[in-house]
Amino acid sequence: MEADKVWMLILAAGLSRRMGRPKQLLPLAGESMIRHVAGRAVRASAGPVAVVCAKTQTEVHDQLSDLPVARIENPNPEAGLSSSLRAGVQFVMERQGEAAVILLGDQPGIRPDVIRRVIETHRNGRCSIVQARYMDRPGHPVLFGRRLFPDLVRLEGDVGAKEVLARHRSDINWVDVPETMPPDIDTPEEYEQAVKSFTDPKN
């Protein structure tokens, strides 16, 4: 089935050092942050969804128990964001996936329609990279095709895929989004702002 070839990967194994408590579990509009992100990925209805968590994050696993998402264990979250990317991409490679869409577990404002557009752009053109470009800057979701999986699994340290994007900038296909990028929530101050302003459109 075509949809099964493109996986949505939510990176949620972070240790929340700046927040001081597990930010994946913080409530927003009646649901935890990780449920918002996972729910929006599921509502995109564009392929299977998997969440990368640390083995010890049992409460995060519990938050997802009734959602149709696969759970991937990151055995070494202390190694930084690259370890979650590696665990997720290796999971997709083992399942012969053709592309992986990277989403962040601390970005609950991500929109299902933007996720869909990114995946549809890939399917229509077999693009190696598709990235959302907001009014203020490029951001997530970012889709990587299979030929770039080796580059992703070689990343090390607390870095995302910016290095891979920079090296293959000419291959990026943009999906323009006429709004500012939904914020990552990393600090108590950012969380308090999100509590005041967060809305959850079921689109």
Instruction: List, in order, residues 6 or more apart from 145 with CB less than 8 Å away.
Output: 98, 99, 122, 126, 127, 128, 129
The candidate with the shortest Cα–Cα distance to 182, out of 137, 150, 147, 152, is: 137
Task: Give the pLDDT of residue 60.
Answer: 79
Burial of 7 (0-12, 13-18, 19+ CB in 10 A): buried
Return per-residue pLDDT of the chain as tens, 203 residues.
455 689 999 998 776 565 656 788 888 888 888 999 999 999 998 899 999 988 767 787 888 889 999 999 888 888 878 888 999 999 999 999 999 999 999 899 999 999 999 999 999 988 899 999 999 899 999 999 999 999 999 988 777 788 899 999 999 999 999 999 998 888 888 888 888 888 765 54
Q: Give the pTM.
A: 0.92
State the chain's maximal CA–CA distance in angstroms.
Answer: 44
The DSSP 8-state label assigned to residue 9 in this structure reads E
Domain ranges of the chain: 2-194
What are 106's two structure tokens?
């601390």
Give the CATH number of domain 2-194; options: 3.90.550.10, 1.10.3720.10, 3.40.50.920, 3.10.180.10: 3.90.550.10
